Amino acid sequence: MGIRTSTVDRALALTCRVHTEPHGDDHTIAYTLHFAVSAPRTARVGREFEIVLAPAPITFSAKLSSGIDDIALCFRIPTHARVVRHTLTGGEALGEAPPYTEVLPGGRLVLRAPGPFRPEVQFTLPALSWRVRAGGSGPVETGLAGTDFADPAWSYRWARAADAVGGDVTGFPDPVVDPSGTLVRTVPTL
């Protein structure tokens, strides 16, 4: 009998800081990222299963920017499991340079999409898939990493040609709404 997997839509609230150059202005905004996530609710200890985190399509407003680049989306590597492999699949309208992943210290993996991305053009980042083997020491969990503006879960650079300003946006899971940033939780069974 195979592992039963379900797919659900998840929304994660973020607290983001918008930094504007050359003025040096900062202001904070609320932002929400949406994902279709797929994973089993339970998995036998020692069995392999798949976790898929698929970002929803995004469209940036032309009122706020004339171009976006250097998007980064940082995930926690699944806990209490042995990662067999990870892959990127799908995605569309992703600019000139292909997205890629980079393993970071502290059990994190970042999805980088150099772009550039044009405003008013919808794009979809690739889905991140992990093949993992369930351990027995606790639930297998993953989601967005990031704890503050210096350690973001979500970031990108923006520019607005009309008034020659630009800057960056950095964000992390909202500490009141969902500080853990968890998207998936699979409970190991014997």
What strands, in cross-sheet order, belong to the sheet with 182-189?
Answer: 42-44, 182-189, 140-143
Query: How far is it, in rounded angstroms, from Cα 74 to Cα 159?
Result: 22
| pLDDT computed for residue 1 by the predictor | 45
| pLDDT computed for residue 55 by the predictor | 98
Query: How far is it, in rounded angstroms, from Cα 176 to Cα 173?
Result: 9
What digits encode the pLDDT tens for the residues 44-53?
999 999 999 9
Determine whether 28 is exposed, middle or buried from the number of CB atoms within 10 Å of its CB (0-12, 13-18, 19+).
exposed
Say which residue the tokens 């009122």 belong to: 63
For 61, which DSSP code?
-
Determine whether 2 is exposed, middle or buried from the number of CB atoms within 10 Å of its CB (0-12, 13-18, 19+).
exposed
What digits encode the pLDDT tens for the residues 18-35?
999 988 899 999 999 999
Residue 187: pLDDT above 80? yes
What digits encode the pLDDT tens for the residues 74-128?
999 999 999 999 999 999 988 889 999 999 999 999 999 999 999 999 999 999 9
Q: Which domain holds residue 169?
A: 5-189
Task: Give the count of domains, the chain.
Answer: 1
| Residues in CB range of 157: below 8 A, 6 or more apart | 68, 69, 70, 166, 167, 168
Are 188 and 80 in contact by the 8 Å Cβ rule? The answer is yes
Cα-based distances in Å from 32 to 80, 137, 153, 164:
27, 32, 12, 27
Are 12 and 73 in contact by the 8 Å Cβ rule? The answer is no
| pLDDT computed for residue 2 by the predictor | 56
Which CATH number fits the domain that encloses residue 50?
2.60.40.2270
Residue 4: pLDDT above 80? no
3-class state of residue 145 by DSSP: coil
What digits encode the pLDDT tens for the residues 40-73?
999 999 999 999 999 999 999 998 899 999 999 9
Helix (H) or strand (E) holding 133: strand 127-134
Residue 148: pLDDT above 50? yes
Are 116 and 162 in contact by the 8 Å Cβ rule? The answer is no
